[in-house]
Amino acid sequence: MSEVLLDVDGLCKDFGGLEAVKNVSFQVRHGQIKALIGPNGAGKTTIFNLITGVLPADAGSAVLGDTQLLGLPTHRIAALGVGRTFQTSLLFDQMTVLENVMVGHHLRGRSTMLTAALRIFGAGAEEREYREAAMQALDRAGLAHLAGRSAAGLPIGQRRLVEVARALAAEPRLLLMDEPAAGLNMRETEHVGEIIHSIRDGGVTVLLVEHDMSLVMNISGEILVLDGGQRLAEGRPDEVRNDERVLAAYLGEDID
Amino acid sequence: MAAVREVPPDNDVHDEVLAATQRRRAQKVQIAAFFLFVALVPLAVHNRYYLHILIVVGLNLILATGLNLLMGYAGQVSLGHAAFYGIGAYVSGILTATYGCNPWAALLAALAVTSLVAWLVGKPTLRLRGHYLAMATLGVGIIVVVVIRQTTGLTGGAAGLTEIPSMTLFGRELQSNMDMHYFYFVWAWVCLLTVLFANLVESRPGRALRALHDSELAAQTLGVDTAAFKVRALVISAAYASIAGTLYAHSSMRFLSPTPFGFHTSIALLVMVVLGGQGTLWGPALGAVTITAIQEALRPYADYDIVVYGLLLVVMMIVMPGGLSRALGALYGRLRERVARHRAGDVAR
Ligand SMILES: Nc1ncnc2c1ncn2[C@@H]1O[C@H](COP(=O)(O)OP(=O)(O)OP(=O)(O)O)[C@@H](O)[C@H]1O
Ligand SMILES: [Mg+2]
């Protein structure tokens, strides 16, 4: 087995009496597609918020490689190589699709306010370089025709794809995806599955929250099941699918 | 029969990159055309009063451009921007009039002081979410005027600071009684600061500002240190105000009093930005021209201009929330479309 990339240990989060995350521990290994599943309100998004520094954790640790993430601000965690897409896509609606992806290059850019305003020390070249790179990224994602469109008017399926392309532009080591298939039709969902595979094949480890069980069962190497903020089960898709506790938690829902 | 056109698969790629380069080139042409036009104005306008007004338009344009960076791009509101203008003016005025400093050295000193004040205001407030900056700048706006009024020994208080020497250029005095020279001097600054602004907003840090304006969370997730970028936007916007202040101090009046740096001016600047169009290149210019004209027209009723600003703000929010420049842009687009359709109709016939 490959080495551990993300090591989450004893994570806790309490929202004024509501224990959203209770002592959750898990590991994500290099090159893995790992899924985090559970009923609504299980604490999945909260775990993403804790790992990315959006919310402070009450206890526990989350170590990426050998760096403790908890306590760091969100932008520092991003700089360490953690990318994220959101449950409801957060695009920059006042910008074009191309500009959205160009913001994804922020971490690799060097220009400051001063050098950018004066166009010195390679700021102009950097601008052209990232415009080209962003355009190529859109092209690879099959979105080149949308480059000049305002992000605000895009249908949900395309919003999700743009958000993924933007996150990948930052060249993350670990990508956290929160329900990338929510609101998509079957064909679009299949496409998202292919994209997640290709992201992994490109060397990016993926931690995925998803309600679409066929997608989860198809692409994940390992699944962690949460319920009421607690770890319920963990294992390969076929193990999880037949776990009694999981079936009970999902009672009435179709796991296949 | 239409000819079959071979479309290369990466056609779009080059289209959009090309379009972006073209947009930027068009912008450069616009900027060049605008300043060429401005440069020719004194050939037609000999009246000193009008030249003076045009200098005021230039100063307001610098102020509005700085505030536009903060409001239109970074999405932060300053309700006391006139304070930064005042600090720039008074630091320059005091250093040159009282201490015999070189005006250019004073300009740099004013920049340093104003930027420091902006940083001190922004650092603690911009880390918090909400309207803390608006509150803090409102406070600074009040404090600065009080300080100017009270430190009579330094600033001349309400009576004003007099005998401010002229600006110098290459060792020669820019005779401020000859407004033509000063007109060119001020508008050269406007030109420089507009170009820097246009460069800045189309760059990594400029996009970071627009990104955090739309979604701080998404921007942070992509590695943007949003608090730091907001502080930088405030500092730059204050630096623009400081330069306008220095230019004001050395203008033909050679005199400073606290009045122009009060709440009135802060609101006027805010209205300029909103009226012209936040987050656009030409918004501040449209706003500065319109508001300066209104100010001059209302000079006999100066105390009521704030009522006009209030009305303007309300009407703008309802009628054209994107501001004049976006409304004009849309109008131009519609006209062009109509002309194109007309031509197409001709061809068909
Ligand atoms: N910022 C917050 N403040 C207070 N309560 C919160 C906050 N965020 C989440 N919660 C609560 O914590 C619990 C877990 O929420 P979370 O969003 O993590 O669930 P989830 O597993 O992502 O659910 P879903 O599948 O519906 O997205 C819920 O009861 C939710 O109401
Ligand atoms: Mg969720």
Residue B274 belongs to some domain of the structure: no
Measured between alpha carbons, how far is B64 from B49 in angstroms, rounded to an integer?
A: 22
| pLDDT single digits (tens) B275-328 | 888 888 888 888 888 888 888 888 888 778 888 888 888 888 888 888 888 888
Query: What confidence category does residue B152 fall into, taking pLDDT thresholds of 50, 70 and 90?
Result: confident
Residue B308 belongs to some domain of the structure: no
**Domain segments of chain A: what residues?**
4-91+156-249, 96-153
| pLDDT single digits (tens) A85-138 | 998 889 999 898 999 999 989 888 788 877 777 777 877 777 788 887 788 888
The answer to whether the CB of A147 falls within 8 A of the CB of A135 is: yes
Domain A4-91+156-249 has CATH 3.40.50.300: yes
Residue B233 belongs to some domain of the structure: yes
| Backbone angles phi and psi of A20, in degrees to 5 | -75, -35
| Backbone angles phi and psi of A85, in degrees to 5 | -120, 155
CA of A89 to the centre of ligand 2 (A): 12
Q: pLDDT at residue A6 above 80?
A: yes
Least confident of A126-130, B84-88, B90-94: A126-130
Number of domains in chain B: 1
| pLDDT single digits (tens) A52-90 | 999 999 999 999 998 999 999 999 999 999 999 998 889
Residue B129 belongs to some domain of the structure: yes
* Alpha carbon of residue A117 to chain centroid: 33
- Residues B16, B17, B18: CA angle, nearest 5 degrees: 85
Residue B97 belongs to some domain of the structure: yes
Residues of A in contact with B224 (CB under 8 A): 75, 103, 106
Contacts of B3 (CB under 8 A, 6+ apart): none
Contacts of B308 (CB under 8 A, 6+ apart): B294, B298
Which residues have C-beta atoms less than 6 Å from ligand 1?
A 15, 18, 20, 38, 40-46, 87
Number of Cβ within 10 Å of residue A17's Cβ equals 5
Measured between alpha carbons, how far is A63 from A26 in angstroms, rounded to an integer?
A: 11
Structural domain boundaries enclosing B228 = 34-263
ipTM for the whole complex = 0.89
- Going by C-alpha positions, the residue among A207, A197, A129, A209 that lies closest to residue A169 is A129
Residues of B in contact with A80 (CB under 8 A): none
Work out the minimum CA distance from A127 to partner chain B, whole angstroms. 6
Residue B344 belongs to some domain of the structure: no
Residue B279 belongs to some domain of the structure: no
Q: Which of A84, A99, A135 sits opposite B13 (nearest CB)?
A: A135
Q: Which of B199, B222, B225 sits opposite A116 (nearest CB)?
A: B199
Contacts of A129 (CB under 8 A, 6+ apart): none
Q: Do B221 and A78 touch (CB under 8 A)?
A: yes
Measured between alpha carbons, how far is B73 from A85 in angstroms, rounded to an integer?
A: 24
Q: What mean pLDDT comes out for the span B184-199?
A: 91
Q: What is the pTM of this model?
A: 0.88
DSSP character string of A48-92: HHHHTTSS--SEEEEEETTEE-TTS-HHHHHHTTEEEE-SS----
Name the residue with tokens 């949460």: A226
